[in-house]
Amino acid sequence: MIVRTALAQINTTVGDLDGNKRKIIEAIDRATALDSGIVLFPELTITGYPPEDLLLNTGFLRENFAVLKEIAAQTARSKAMIVLGFVDFVNEIYNAAAILQRGEIKSVYRKMSLPNYSVFDERRYFSPGAHPLLVRFGEAKIGINVCEDLWVPSGPINDQTIAGANLILNLSASPFTSQKHKTRSSLLLTRAMEYSSTIAYCNLVGAQDDLVFDGRSCVAMPDGRLVVGRAFEEDLLVLDIDTDISTRYNLFEGKRKVYSKNVSIEEVTVEPSYRETASELAVRRESELSKYDELIAALELGIKDYLKKNNFERIVLGLSGGMDSSLVAALAVRAIGKNNVKGVFMPSRITSNESRRDAMELAENLGIEILEVPIESIVDSTLKALKTTFKDAAEDVTEENWNDWKWQLKNAIKDIPTLEKVIKISEEQKKELTKVLEKFRMAITPYYAALMIQ
């Protein structure tokens, strides 16, 4: 049985129920126009991920369900099965996936494995589901699970494949870390081969505050093949999946026979939409990003979405001429364009000519406007205000000056009283130094003095 499956990798915004609804409906329309029999979305599609304390607002929970019913109504004329994430609220709240078809909510699956490590704190909000779900889709049997359900050993996929599932649909919101996609791909292929089942995995893309989601939705097959979608951008990955491949692998390898059932399973029957033969769909081969290109793409997306999702159009950056501010400015220009970035250079008496030159050249190279706002008077008034409080403390030295050989020579220690402020000197040592200084000059740079202290 061949099922055309569309993975709708969309960029949702936490709390923007109307905006997310529009994106979901647009993706459904695009997928059904391509004659897709299944349309799969990322985790918590309606609310955005992670909704966190919005989940404590019962009005928000009810509105999220109202949006689900509106989306279901939009599918009234579609024969495709839509699988999307929402928050199920029945006394407790659940991270859930809804099965929609022909205007109806056919069934709901509640995520069973709730992560509570690293950036995840789902157990704080959600209750775990109790039973895996199996969808009877004509000759195919389809297991539905959500993100972490695939990462844990013997998760819902165990019982779903024992019950005959030859296709697993996973809704995910797996955050980006450097090179994590390799671990993720390995896991999905391992699960596909371990349970002799094809896995369609739809991951979230976009950034939400301090999290970045890289997308890379994919289909992993028990024969070791892996088709991966685009990274760091929205995508609609459409594939014709032959569910008989999984069935044949299970019959050949017989792995499922020795697996033990964990819990009872829930089943629902959905009207199938399938194809007799696979069409020649263009299978995209996405080029692999290098480690550094991947980091740049993640940072760009993080900046762009942070501004967009918080309704900021332009940004102002302090430019010191150093590497940190230069990198941020370059990334900002790549993310939102040079016309939306303005630099500010704020010199004082400790600012070197090199710093001014570098800041101005950076602005010219990036094509951004730069303002020069001297802050000498502000520095002076601040030092004056703090003079009494810090009267016994030595004045700090900026790293820029510390690394400047001219500053080091200018501030060299040239007499015994100054040296005594830095290191302990015995009376005998002072006598010896006094004799030496009668014939020779002393000049100990602050850097070398710091080594003497150590």
**Which of 350 and 150 is assigned the larger pLDDT?**
150
pLDDT at 281 over 60: no
pLDDT at 389 over 90: no
Token pair for 126:
């959600």
3-state secondary structure (DSSP) of residue 354: helix
Token pair for 230:
């685009």
- Mean pLDDT over 427-440 rounds to 90
Domain 313-376 is of which CATH architecture?
Answer: 3-Layer(aba) Sandwich (3.40)
Task: Please give the Cα distance from 150 to 238 (Å, whole number).
Answer: 22
> What percentage of the chain reaches a pLDDT higher than 70?
96
**Which of 249 and 44 is assigned the larger pLDDT?**
44
Among residues 128, 131, 93, 126, which one has the least CA distance to residue 113?
128
- Give the pLDDT confidence score for residue 394 in this predicted structure: 67
**Which of 254 and 232 is assigned the larger pLDDT?**
232
Instruction: Answer whether the bond into residue 417 is a cis peptide, omega within 30°.
Output: no
> What percentage of the chain reaches a pLDDT higher than 90?
75
Q: Which entry of 23, 106, 122, 147 is annotated as an active-site residue?
A: 147
Sheet of strand 369-372: strand arrangement? 315-318, 341-345, 369-372
| Numbered ranges of CATH 3.60.110.10 in the chain | 2-286
The CATH superfamily of 2-286 is Carbon-nitrogen hydrolase (3.60.110.10)
- Mean pLDDT over 66-92 rounds to 95
pLDDT at 266 over 70: yes
- Mean pLDDT over 382-411 rounds to 78
Measure Cα distances from 290 to 205, 293, 297 in Å: 19, 5, 10
pLDDT at 308 over 80: yes
- Mean pLDDT over 296-304 rounds to 97
**Which of 45 and 392 is assigned the larger pLDDT?**
45
| Residue ranges of E strands in 218-260 | 218-220, 226-228, 235-242
pLDDT at 220 over 80: yes
Token pair for 420:
């005594």
The reply to whether 309 belongs to the active site is: no
* Across 69-83, 156-170, 199-213, 276-290, least confident range: 276-290
* Across 111-125, 291-305, 395-409, 418-432, least confident range: 395-409
- Give the pLDDT confidence score for residue 145 in this predicted structure: 97
Confidence of residue 351 (pLDDT cuts 50, 70, 90): confident
| Numbered ranges of CATH 3.40.50.620 in the chain | 313-376
Task: Please give the Cα distance from 17 to 68 (Å, whole number).
Answer: 10
pTM assigned to the model: 0.85
Confidence of residue 231 (pLDDT cuts 50, 70, 90): very high
The reply to whether 218 belongs to the active site is: no
Task: Please give the Cα distance from 75 to 58 (Å, whole number).
Answer: 26
| Average pLDDT score, the chain | 92
- Give the pLDDT confidence score for residue 333 in this predicted structure: 97
How, if at all, do strands 2-9 and 38-40 pair?
parallel
Q: Which entry of 43, 122, 294, 300 is annotated as an active-site residue?
A: 43
**Left (φ > 0), alpha (ψ -120 to 50) or beta: where does 204 sit?**
beta
**Which of 405 and 122 is assigned the larger pLDDT?**
122
Among residues 395, 401, 388, which one has the least CA distance to residue 421?
395
- Give the pLDDT confidence score for residue 285 in this predicted structure: 61
Q: Which entry of 21, 23, 111, 304 is annotated as an active-site residue?
A: 111
What angle separates helix 353-366 from helix 323-336, to the nearest 10 degrees?
10
pLDDT at 43 over 90: yes
